[in-house]
Every structure is written in structure tokens, then in C-alpha cells.
Amino acid sequence: MQIFPSGTNKPQRGFTLLEVLLVLVIGGLLVGAVATSLSEGPVLRKSGREVAASLRHARAQAVMRQQPTLWKMNIQEKRFWIDGGAANAERSLSPSIEAKINTTSAEVDAANQGGIRFFPDGSSTGGSVELTHNKQTFKVNVEWVTGRVAIQ
């Protein structure tokens, strides 16, 4: 008569329930952290593009109307607009964004408000606007000779 062994001496393979749950919790935390960091970037990028578009619009108005046009920003209230433009053209930045404007002293109205002036030939007083959100910075530069607006 043959005898068949009822068990094997091989060690068990697989994961315990505790190990699986631990991996799922760590994975969930990582996905949450990545999703949060990815969602903050577009806010800054969108704001940078809005500021750049507004500056380009001010330059185009100056050239088209053949008269100087002033683009203004209030960094405390986080608002920007084209001086003398339509009342509904004023834009606001997200409250979480920090703003700085670097411009000539002639275009500074107060400690928290300054502007960039565009001239009929397309040139400008020059300057830059820095937008910062969670240690990321977008800089919108305006060249004084050409009035060209570029995002860095």
C-alpha cells in the first residue's frame, strides 16, 4: 500500500491582510499628495497667462488708438486692469497667489499699486510681474524697447 503525505514542508506564499491594507493606505496617501500638487500648478499658470494677455491687450490698445495706455495692478487686493478700459475688464488673482510688480518709479501710485505704460509705437516703460504660489513662481516680463510680453 502507498502512503501519501497530507501536507508539504514548503513555506506559505502570499501576503497577509495587514500587509495588503498597509500598502493600500500608503498608496492612497501618495496619490492624494500628487493630486494636490498637480492641482495647484494650473492655478498659477492660468493667472500668469491672464496677466500676460491683459498686458498684451494694453499694448495693442496703445498701438491701435495711437495714445499711451496704462496697465495697473494692485498687489494687496490682487487686481489688475487697463486704466480707462471697460469697467468689467478688471480681473482678480486667486487669493492664494502672491503678486509683485517691478516697474519704474514714475508708474508707482502707492506702496501696493503700480503700472506699466505702453506707448503708440509699441514700446513701454518696461517691468515685470511675479506671481508666486507654493514656492512656484511665474514671471511675466515686459521689454521696454519693444513692449514685448513674455512669460518665464
Report yes or no: 131 and 48 within 8 Å, Cβ to Cβ. Answer: yes
Residues 6 or more apart whose Cβ sits within 8 Å of residue 44: 97, 131, 132, 133, 136, 138
Is residue 142 one of the residues assigned to a domain? yes
Q: Around Cβ 71, how many Cβ atoms within 10 Å?
A: 32
Q: Which amino acid is at 92?
A: S
Q: How many domains does the chain have?
A: 1
Q: What is the pLDDT of residue 16?
A: 85
Q: Which three cell numbers stand for residue 20?
A: 495588503
Q: Is the pLDDT of residue 37 over 60?
A: no
H or E element at residue 37: helix 17-65
Q: pLDDT-derived band of residue 79, with 50, 70 and 90 as boundaries?
A: very high
Q: What is the pLDDT of residue 152?
A: 86
* CATH number, residue 79: 3.55.40.10
Q: Over the chain, what is the mean pLDDT?
A: 87
Q: Domain range holding 133?
A: 42-151
